[in-house]
């Protein structure tokens, strides 16, 4: 039996997942670590954590599956997007990586809009300049750490640092590269216009590859560290959300992937480089060759439910909160929750947005508040689904992530969105997708659609219920609240 390895370098852990030749998950290994917040708005991490985590997780996956490293014939990579790793000419790390959730670069985002033009930037890259992306981080280092900038010769994304340590090659995938906002979305490669306007040295940027293309082979040094034979091909892979879409089967137009984790992501595949004119949806290249995707992101999905539990019911389990919420009828008796506890990205790119309960009365209890949180997150996810509808048809939604384990929550999301929800039977969609891309590249499947048909398992399908009509009106009220409260949110966020 031959096996394919997917490695997912996330913000808090590295996962290594092994699948067999038909795409069945055989074993998973994990290695956990932390990140640093040395100043307000900053988020940084040592790149060495990703490589050490990968070596540890790979060993755990082999041990858990009872598999010999010599049976691995392909490796796919995925991980957190938008981070910045800066290296000198010898490949040495010059500073800790600046992560996707770092918020220090607002001035640099303004600088990018001034240099390129906001509308032109969206037209070329598919995105407005936001603090999470890689390009403003590069400008921040130039503006604030010129000694580091002057030594820089290579710029990589987090998972591509793992690729460098595995293969010795400087490379990235098309999906990850497009998340830097230095990409020409339609051309699926670096934009000479944007890179030139920002004054970034083009030679720093790695070669780009499709997700199922070979980017190099395991080096002798990496073979010694992992046990995987030297020369085993390492494929392009993808950023975490594009890889997750492959892992849940969202590889054709009209089929959405919805990840209900700490944050919430709605991902829609397209067969052309569609761009939301106002930049309210992110537009990136897909891991699937000649495919693109639109993506909506809300910053606090399951994170909102976690906050409610920790703040108001620390001794209750999530299942017990679900049970309480199920005793309340749809609409929570007029109580609405705005899930902007960490600011928001889609459809309101506003770091100063705030959470709120609106409509509280003496009749409302913890049960009402729990249901209102579930509904408020569902309303926020629907905002992204509606933007997807404007760009094209929406059929089935494939749900994954911790929140998808709640039958009540999935039903509410189906009712609010008006779309059937298929719950996928994998908890590691990104690592699974990376392994599937390796399997496609190695010829075990003819393409990603065939891989998804064989490897993706659906646990259950949830259809909209009669509550759909109740939620239609409540969602309209929800949408009116952010514009009404925006100025107050900004006033409350001002220091002092």
Q: Supply 274's token pair.
A: 């569609």
Residue of 462, 484, 338 lying closest to 405 (CA atoms) = 462
Report the share of the chain in percent with pLDDT over 90.
86
Three-state SS sequence of 388-456: HHHHCCCCCEEEECHHHHCHHHHHHHHHHHCCCEEEECCCCHHHHHHHHHHHHHCCCCCCHHHHHHHHC
Q: What count of other Cβ atoms lies within 10 Å of the Cβ of residue 408?
A: 16
What's the pLDDT band for 436 if we cut at 50, 70, 90? very high
What is the per-residue pLDDT for 278?
83
Does the pLDDT at position 429 exceed 60?
Answer: yes
Residue of 496 and 214 predicted with greater confidence = 214
* Rounded mean pLDDT, 458-471: 95
CA angle 103, 356, 466 (to 5 degrees): 115
Average pLDDT, the chain: 94
Q: Supply 489's token pair.
A: 């949110």
Q: Using CA atoms, how far apart are residues 398 and 151, in angstroms rounded to an integer? A: 45
Report the share of the chain in percent with pLDDT over 70.
99
Burial class (CB in 10 A: 0-12, 13-18, 19+), 477: middle
Does the pLDDT at position 391 exceed 80?
Answer: no
Radius of gyration of the chain from its Cα atoms, rounded to whole angstroms: 22
What is the per-residue pLDDT for 254?
83
Q: Which domains does the chain have, with CATH numbers?
A: 3-237 (3.30.420.40), 249-496 (3.30.420.40)
What's the pLDDT band for 322 if we cut at 50, 70, 90? very high
What is the per-residue pLDDT for 373?
98
The pLDDT tens digits of the residues spanning 223-249 come to 999 999 999 999 999 999 999 999 999
Whether this prediction's pTM lies above 0.85 is answered by: yes
The pLDDT tens digits of the residues spanning 331-358 come to 999 999 999 998 898 999 888 899 999 9
Q: Where are the beta strands (DSSP E) in 236-365?
A: 256-260, 264-270, 282-285, 292-298, 336-338, 356-358
The pLDDT tens digits of the residues spanning 11-27 come to 889 999 999 999 999 99
Sequence-ordered list of residues with C-beta below 8 angstroms from that of 343, at least 6 positions apart, any chain: 299, 350, 351, 352, 353, 354
Q: Supply 335's token pair.
A: 């109580």
Residue of 91 and 401 predicted with greater confidence = 91
Q: What count of other Cβ atoms lies within 10 Å of the Cβ of residue 92?
A: 11
Is the Cα torsion angle 436, 442, 448, 451 positive or negative in sign?
negative
**If DSSP codes are grouped into helix, strand and coil, which group holds residue 102?**
coil
Does the pLDDT at position 392 exceed 80?
Answer: no
Q: Using CA atoms, how far apart are residues 378 and 332, in angstroms rounded to an integer? A: 13
Q: Supply 39's token pair.
A: 């100043």
Percentage helix, strand, coil for the chain under 3-state DSSP, each rounded to 5? 40, 20, 35
Does the pLDDT at position 496 exceed 60?
Answer: no
The pLDDT tens digits of the residues spanning 189-198 come to 999 999 999 9
Does the pLDDT at position 393 exceed 90?
Answer: no
Does the pLDDT at position 134 exceed 80?
Answer: yes
Q: Which residues are catalytic?
A: 240
């Amino acid at each position: 039996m031959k096996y394919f390895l997917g490695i997912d370098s996330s913000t808090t852990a590295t996962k290594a997942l092994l699948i067999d030749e038909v795409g069945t998950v055989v074993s998973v290994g994990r290695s956990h670590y932390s990140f640093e917040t040395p100043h307000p708005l900053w988020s940084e991490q040592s790149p060495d954590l990703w490589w050490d985590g990968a070596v540890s997780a790979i060993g755990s996956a082999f041990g858990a599956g009872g598999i010999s490293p010599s049976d691995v014939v392909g490796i796919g990579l995925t991980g957190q997007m938008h981070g910045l790793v800066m290296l000198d000419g010898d490949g040495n790390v010059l500073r800790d990586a600046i992560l996707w959730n770092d918020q220090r670069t607002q001035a640099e985002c303004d600088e990018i809009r001034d240099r390129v033009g906001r509308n032109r930037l969206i037209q070329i890259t598919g995105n407005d300049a936001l603090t999470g992306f890689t390009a403003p981080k590069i400008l921040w280092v130039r503006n604030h750490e010129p000694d580091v900038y002057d030594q820089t010769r290579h710029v990589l994304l987090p998972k591509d640092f793992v690729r460098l340590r595995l293969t010795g090659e400087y490379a990235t995938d098309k999906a990850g590269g497009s998340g830097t906002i230095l990409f020409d979305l339609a051309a699926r490669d670096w934009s000479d216009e944007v890179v030139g306007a920002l004054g970034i040295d083009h030679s720093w940027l790695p070669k780009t590859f499709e997700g199922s293309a070979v980017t190099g082979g395991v080096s002798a040094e990496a073979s010694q560290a992992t046990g995987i034979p030297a020369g085993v091909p390492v494929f392009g892979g993808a950023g975490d959300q594009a890889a997750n879409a492959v892992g849940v089967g969202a590889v054709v137009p009209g089929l959405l992937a919805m990840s209900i984790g700490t944050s919430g992501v709605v991902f829609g595949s397209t067969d052309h480089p569609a761009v939301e004119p106002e930049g309210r949806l992110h537009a990136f290249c897909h891991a699937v060759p000649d495919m693109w995707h639109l993506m909506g992101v809300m910053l606090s999905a399951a994170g909102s439910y976690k906050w409610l539990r920790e703040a108001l019911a620390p001794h209750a389990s999530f299942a017990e909160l679900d049970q309480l919420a199920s005793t309340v009828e749809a609409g929570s008796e007029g109580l609405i929750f705005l899930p902007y506890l960490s600011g928001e990205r889609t459809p309101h790119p506003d770091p100063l947005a705030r959470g709120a309960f609106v409509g509280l009365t003496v009749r409302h209890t913890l049960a009402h508040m729990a249901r209102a949180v579930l509904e408020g997150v569902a309303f926020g996810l629907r905002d992204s689904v509606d933007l997807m509808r404007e760009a094209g048809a929406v059929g089935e939604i494939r749900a994954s992530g911790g929140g998808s384990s709640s039958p009540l929550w999935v039903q509410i999301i189906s009712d609010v969105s008006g779309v059937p929800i298929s719950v996928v039977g994998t908890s590691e969609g990104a690592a699974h997708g990376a392994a599937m891309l390796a399997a496609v590249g190695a010829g075990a499947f003819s393409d990603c659609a065939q891989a998804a048909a064989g490897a993706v398992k659906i646990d259950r399908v949830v259809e909209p219920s009669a509550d759909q009509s109740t939620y239609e009106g409540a969602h309209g009220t929800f949408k009116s609240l952010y514009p009404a409260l925006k100025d107050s949110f900004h006033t409350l966020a001002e220091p002092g």
